[in-house]
Every structure is written in C-alpha cells, then in structure tokens.
Amino acid sequence: MNELLSTSFFYGAKFFLLFSHEFVIIPILVVGFIMGKKEKFGSALYLLLLTMIFNTLLKSMFQVPLAPHLGKVGFAFPSGHMQSAVVFYGWFFYKTSSLPLKSLSFILLAGCGWALVYLRYHTWIDVFGSIGFGVLTLALYVQFFQKLSFFDPKLRPKISGACFFSIASLFIGFLGYHAEILAHVWMAYYALMGFSLAWGTLGNGGQFSHCRGIFGALGCLAFIFLIQSLFQKFFLTRLPSYLFEMQWFLSAGSLPIVAKMISHKETN
C-alpha cells in the first residue's frame, strides 16, 4: 500500500511539473495569441520571458546553492520553475472571470509547488520565495502597464515591448557584469527581442475565421519545431550559447507575423 501511494505521488508530482515546461507552455501561448486575445497572451509571454531573466538575477544575488543530492552546480532560491509558473498561471488567474479557470490555475500552481518539494528539487523556502517575487512582478505589471494606458500592450504594443526589452537589457547588463549569462537567459532575451519587435511593428492584425486561426497556429508551431530542429542538428556544437539561442528570436517573432499574415489574407 505504501509503495502504491509512493508511486502515485511520484507520477502525480511529475504530472504537475509538466505544466511548468516549455513543451506545454509554448503551445498554450501560440494558440492563445493567434486565436485568442492577443493582449492577454502577449502579456503572458512578456511576463514569462522577463521572469526567466529576473529569476536568474535574483539567484545571482542570493546565491543559495542547490541541494547536494541533485549533483548540479547552480542556485536554488528562488525557484525558477515556481516563479515562472506563478507569473504565467497567476496572470491568467487574474485576467479570467471564469471560476473553473481560476480553480484550474490555482490547482496547477499548488501542484507545482508541492511537486518541487516532494521530488526534493527545492525547499518550501525556495517555493514561497518564488511565489512572493512572482506576485510582486504581477502586481507591478498591473499597476504600471495595465492601469496606465500609455503602456498598455493592447493599445500600444510597440511601447510596451520597448519597455520590457529595456528592463530585460538592464538585467542582462547586470548579470553580465556580476555573473555568467546562462543559455536559458539568452533564450528569454532573444525571444523577448523577436516578439516585441514583431508585435510592435505589425500590431494586432485584423479578424480571421476560426478555421484560418487553427491552420495559423499549427503552422506557427510547425515553424518553431523546424527552427529548433535545424539549430539542434547544425549548430548545437558549433555556436556559443549567446549565438545558438538566437533561434528563439525567430521562433517568438513568428507569432505576430503569422497572426498578421492570416488576418491580411482574410480581409482581401
């Protein structure tokens, strides 16, 4: 009985952690941005990418080492997975008025926090610290971007993108001066650069049919997969991380481009 419970808890924890990984989050963002409300999902992407850089900056400041049993070099506080999950799913919790969606967001966040501790990746201090910084990020974004229409991504995607990119550049500069810039930080930075440039240049686009939206989302996901595959095959061992991760500039920039392409064709 104890073995059955232990196995159930283990796979349950692995299940919850799936929702903090890119192969779940990327399709949500692609489908949501192209077929849903661009302001909501575009903001989620901005927040997620900036949080990835911000979390690394925080870790370099606190320098709490990872648990020895993990056998990895790095810092634990605050948890990157949890802070990203709080910002991502917390944003949708804040934006939706649907009780089922709010409940789902809360369950995913609670499950992710529990899983990180149960699998001994982090301590509760790491988890609660990341929750605090995640909530702080959301609160600042709501106050300065959502309530000041001048910075609202829905009304002025170019200005909001420039603000996010400027903040990320400051974080990158500080990290480069005090610590090594890791591959996932370059990934987030290039993705933020590509997405903000494309969205700011092309805008929100027009209306299109549901069918065209489905094909657009599938095409965008296929393009991202192709770019990742090509870079993995031809450049993985040939380029340093600050060049290899430029693949995410193309991947993230494809979202506004595809949205513009399918809306343009529909209106002609």
For helices 99-118 and 80-95, angle between their N-to-C axes, nearest 10 degrees = 170
pTM of the prediction? 0.89
Alpha carbons 151 and 163: distance in angstroms, whole number = 8
Alpha carbons 204 and 154: distance in angstroms, whole number = 8
Q: Averaged over 227-248, what is the pLDDT?
A: 85
Residue 8 has pLDDT above 50, yes or no: yes
Full residue range of the structural domain in which residue 111 is found: 2-267
Give the per-residue pLDDT at 207.
Answer: 67
Residue 45: pLDDT band (50, 70, 90) is very high
The secondary structure of residue 36, as a DSSP letter, is S
Give the per-residue pLDDT at 153.
Answer: 65
188-197, 206-215, 217-226, range with the lowest pLDDT: 206-215
Is-cis flag, bond preceding 65, omega within 30?
no
Task: Dump pLDDT digits (tens) for 124-174.
Answer: 999 999 999 999 999 998 887 766 655 566 656 778 888 888 999 999 998
Alpha carbons 263 and 268: distance in angstroms, whole number = 9
Give phi and psi for 75, each to the nearest 5: -115, 150
Residue 18 has pLDDT above 80, yes or no: yes
**Residue 63 and residue 180 in contact, taking contact as beta carbons nearer than 8 Å:** no
Say how many C-beta atoms besides its own lie within 10 A of residue 60's C-beta: 16
Give the per-residue pLDDT at 266.
Answer: 42
37-46, 95-104, 186-195, 202-211, range with the lowest pLDDT: 202-211
Q: Averaged over 95-107, what is the pLDDT?
A: 91
Give the per-residue pLDDT at 265.
Answer: 46
Total count of domains within the chain:
1
CA distances from 228 to 77, 223, 247, 251, 252 (A): 30, 9, 7, 8, 12
Task: Dump pLDDT digits (tens) for 179-199.
Answer: 778 889 999 999 999 999 998
Give the per-residue pLDDT at 148.
Answer: 65
